[in-house]
Every structure is written in C-alpha cells, then in structure tokens.
Amino acid sequence: MKREITLALLAALALATAVSFAPITPAAATQQIDPTHFSSQITNTYLPLSLVGPKLFIGEETDDEGEAVETRLESRLLPETTVVAGVTVAILEERAYEDGELVEVALDYFAQDANGDVYYFGEAVDNYVDGVLENHDGQWLAGEGDNEPGLFMPAAPRAGVTLTLEYAPGIAEDMAIVLTLGEPVNVPAGKYTNCLKTREFTPLEPDIEEFKYYCPGVGMVKEEGDGAILELVSIRRNGSAPPAEVDDEAGDDEKGTTIQPPATGDGGLR
C-alpha cells in the first residue's frame, strides 16, 4: 500500500512539473481575449481604415515565365461588420487583378484595442483562375484551432520591433520588422513624409520578403519586393483628409450592418 501511495505521489509530482513548465498554447491565449476591449472603428495613425475611403493601387510583377504582369488592387472598408473569436471586427475588402483579370477577393478582419493597437483576426479568401473560383487557399480565422489574432499595427510603433501579423500555423505566419518611422515616399497618389517602413517575411516561404510603407492618416501607400511593386494611385476621402490627392465626390456608405464570416472549412466568400 505504501509503495502504491509513493508511486501515486511520484506520478502526481511528475504531472504537476509537466503542467508547470508547459508553454501557454495559442488556444489558451485566445480564451483571454476580452471583446469589450476591442472596437471595429480603426483609427490607428498608420492604419486608419475607418477614416479613409476606397484606395486603388497599380503595380507590376513577374510571372513564372519571366513575363511582366500588370497588377491592380482595389481596397475598401465595407459598411458591414462581423464577429470573429467573439470580437466585432471591421471588414476590409481587397480585390486583386493580374492583367485585368480578377485573381483574388479577400475579406480581411481587423479590430482595434483600447490602446490603439490594431489586430488582424483572419481573412476569407476566394482565389480565381481564368475567371472561375478555384479554391480558398490562405483562408483562416482567429479562434479556430491554434489560430491567433496578429498584432498588425501598434499604436506607438518603434524601429526594430518585430510583429507577428498572422498566426495560423501552416497557413499564414506573416511577420514584420519595423525598419524606420521617418521615411519619405513618393507614389502616383502624392508625396508623403514620416512614413513607417516594414520588412515582411514568413517562415513558410523563407526566401521571400516584402517592404511596405504606411503613412500617417493614409495607411499603406506602397509595397515592393520579390520583383514586384505596388503603389497607391488614388484614395477617396472618408472622415479625414489625407495629404494626398483625393476624390471629393465619393459618399459615405451606411454603417451598422453585421454579416457572418464563412467557416474556414466551408468555403470562402458568398
């Protein structure tokens, strides 16, 4: 009996030791999210999604055959919101074209905490080939499995800080290093100063990196890397006036509608 008690105690101690030193898993961290600390109004200086209207980017990249491809990105904040991991999030719709043909439609989910930090809660993705919906590769939602919201843009970024933009193991693991905060940028939409420059990379594709530029009151205005470049061509006014050329004829959309995001295993956009 004493031997059985001793073995039981040893087993209990071993279990306690294992629990004490076990790392906190992403799933456990998700349970600590307090939805009341987040807002779907995104007003971060470097990512003011709720304060600017639709943006148009034009660029160029090289395909697998070495041929130049004209790229186009249409980005706009939708009037609807949705709920991801218990948090009401804003929805940024981005439509990507190559040589005039639609290749991807993504709904990116963002929320801002009380400190002004902007978190990325995942995305719904439709990928097209020759005008036909092909798959939903790259789609993920925070709170599903080990997926975690990523810190996309701090309220007070500092040079040298590394950010985990996405945390969906095996699907999306983008990270970024803040390089500078005083970068001048000249794009077709205008000249900007005091911009934040990042270097983005992912362990899933270690040979690829991108450099992105985020400017105060405007958000992203340029990205380049891996033989590609994408630049802001136009931006419409919505609440605040960025220091670039804008279209004053654009009106505000109605706010307040809520839509349901697709489960990552059930397909993409509807």
Cα–Cα distance, 36 to 58 (Å, whole number): 38
Tell me whether residue 10 is in a domain: no
> Any residues with CB less than 8 A from the CB of 192 and at least 6 apart, and which?
184, 185, 186, 213, 215, 216, 218, 221, 243, 244
Tell me whether residue 20 is in a domain: no
* pLDDT tens per residue across span 59-73: 999 988 889 999 999
pLDDT at 214 over 90: yes
Tell me whether residue 58 is in a domain: yes
Please count the structural domains in the chain.
1
* pLDDT tens per residue across span 144-193: 999 999 999 999 999 999 999 999 999 999 999 999 999 999 999 999 99
Q: Which run of H or of E encompasses 10? A: helix 2-21
Tell me whether residue 9 is in a domain: no
Q: How confident is the model at residue 140 (pLDDT cuts 50, 70, 90)?
A: very high
* pLDDT tens per residue across span 28-80: 344 478 899 999 999 999 999 999 999 999 999 998 888 999 999 999 999 99
Tell me whether residue 15 is in a domain: no
Tell me whether residue 135 is in a domain: yes
List the domain range (segments joined by +) for residue 179. Answer: 38-245
**Nearest 5 degrees, angle CA 219-CA 220-CA 222?**
150
Task: Please report the pLDDT score of residue 29 as a whole number.
Answer: 41
Specify the pTM: 0.79
Helix (H, G, I), strand (E, B) or coil at 2: helix
Q: What is the DSSP letter of 63?
A: -
Length in residues, the chain: 270
Tell me whether residue 251 is in a domain: no
Q: Give the residue with greater pLDDT, 246 vs 176.
A: 176
Residue 11, Cβ density class (10 Å: 0-12 exposed, 13-18 middle, ≥19 buried): exposed
Tell me whether residue 26 is in a domain: no
